[in-house]
Amino acid sequence: MLLHSIKELRELRKNWRGLKVGLVPTMGALHEGHLSLIKKAKETCDKVVVSVFVNPIQFGPAEDYDKYPRTLDNDTVLCEKEGVDIVFAPTPDEMYGSGNRLSNDTLTYVCPPFFYVNKLCGKTRVGHFDGVCTVVLKLFNIVQPDYAFFGQKDAQQVVIVKKMVKDLNVPVEIIQCPIVREESGLALSSRNKYLSDEGKQKALALSKILNNIKSCYKRGITDIKGLKETAYNFLTEDYELEYLEILDKNTLEEQEYADNNSIVLIACRVENVRLIDNIYLED
C-alpha 102/C-alpha 135 separation (Å) is 12
C-alpha 44/C-alpha 82 separation (Å) is 14
C-alpha 140/C-alpha 163 separation (Å) is 14
Burial class (CB in 10 A: 0-12, 13-18, 19+), 212: middle
Q: Who's near 70: CB < 8 A, 6+ residues apart?
A: 28, 29, 54
User: DSSP letter at 88?
Assistant: E
Residue 83 to residues 47, 128, 153, Cα–Cα distance (Å) = 9, 32, 24
Phi, psi of 128 (to 5 degrees): -60, -50
Q: Which of 4, 31, 34, 128 is catalytic?
A: 34
Question: Is 31 among the catalytic positions?
Answer: no
C-alpha 193/C-alpha 203 separation (Å) is 12
By annotation, the residues acting in catalysis are 34
